[in-house]
C-alpha cells in the first residue's frame, strides 16, 4: 500500500480558483460573527434547495461514506452551490486521514476535526458542513 501524507493528499484534491478575484468572490472577504451565521435550515426549507439536497442524497450516504466518495460529494455540493470553496477544502481536510476503502460517518469525522482545529474559521466551516450533512440525511429519509 502506498502511503500519502495528509498535506500531499490535500494539495492534490484542493479546488483551485482561477485567480485571486475569483477566490475573493467565492469566499468573501469578511468572516461572519457567530451570531450572524445564517440559519441554513430555514434557507433549505424556503429556497427550493431541497431538490439539490435530494440529488446529493440519492448519490451519497453520509453515515457510511469513503474518502473517494467524499471527493465526489464535495464536487457535487460545489456544483450545486451548496458549499463554497473554503468549505469544500475543509471537507477534504476533515476526512483525508481515513483510508480510501474505509467506511466512516461524516458527522463523526467533522466532530473529530473540530476537536483538533479550534480556529474560528474551522468552527464556522464545520458548523455549516454539519448542517449540510444533516440536510442530506433528511433528504435521504424523505
pLDDT for residue 53: 87
Sign of the CA dihedral with 75 first, then 78, 84, and 85 last: positive
Q: The C-alpha cell of 23 is what?
A: 477566490
In-domain check, residue 59: yes
pLDDT for residue 69: 95
pLDDT for residue 121: 85
The length of the chain is 142
CA dist 37 and 102 (Å) reads 33
In-domain check, residue 120: yes
CA dihedral 137, 72, 75, 92 (to 10 degrees): 90
In-domain check, residue 18: no
pLDDT for residue 140: 87
pLDDT for residue 9: 62
In-domain check, residue 12: no
> Would the pLDDT of 30 be above 50?
no
| Structural domain containing residue 124 | 39-141
pLDDT, tens digit, 9 for 90 and up, residues 53-101: 888 989 999 999 999 999 999 999 999 999 999 999 999 999 999 999 9
Residue 116 Cα distances to 9, 23, 109, 112, 123, angstroms: 18, 26, 11, 6, 10
| Confidence category of residue 141, pLDDT binned at 50, 70, 90 | confident
In-domain check, residue 101: yes
pLDDT, tens digit, 9 for 90 and up, residues 114-129: 998 878 888 899 999 9
- How much is the pTM? 0.64
| Confidence category of residue 142, pLDDT binned at 50, 70, 90 | confident
| Bridge partners for 104 per DSSP | 65
Domain count, the chain: 1
Amino acid at each position: 500500500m502506498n502511503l500519502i501524507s495528509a498535506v500531499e493528499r490535500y494539495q492534490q484534491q484542493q479546488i483551485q480558483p482561477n485567480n485571486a478575484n475569483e477566490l475573493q468572490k467565492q469566499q468573501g472577504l469578511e468572516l461572519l460573527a457567530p451570531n450572524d451565521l445564517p440559519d441554513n435550515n430555514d434557507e433549505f426549507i424556503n429556497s427550493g434547495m431541497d431538490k439539490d439536497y435530494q440529488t446529493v442524497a440519492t448519490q451519497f450516504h453520509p453515515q457510511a461514506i469513503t474518502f473517494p466518495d467524499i471527493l465526489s460529494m464535495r464536487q457535487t455540493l460545489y456544483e450545486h452551490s451548496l458549499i463554497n470553496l473554503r468549505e469544500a477544502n475543509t471537507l477534504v481536510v476533515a476526512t483525508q486521514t481515513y483510508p480510501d476503502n474505509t467506511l466512516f460517518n461524516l458527522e463523526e469525522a467533522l466532530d473529530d476535526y473540530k476537536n483538533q482545529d479550534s480556529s474560528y474559521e474551522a468552527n464556522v466551516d464545520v458548523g455549516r458542513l454539519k448542517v449540510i450533512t444533516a440536510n442530506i440525511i433528511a433528504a435521504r429519509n424523505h
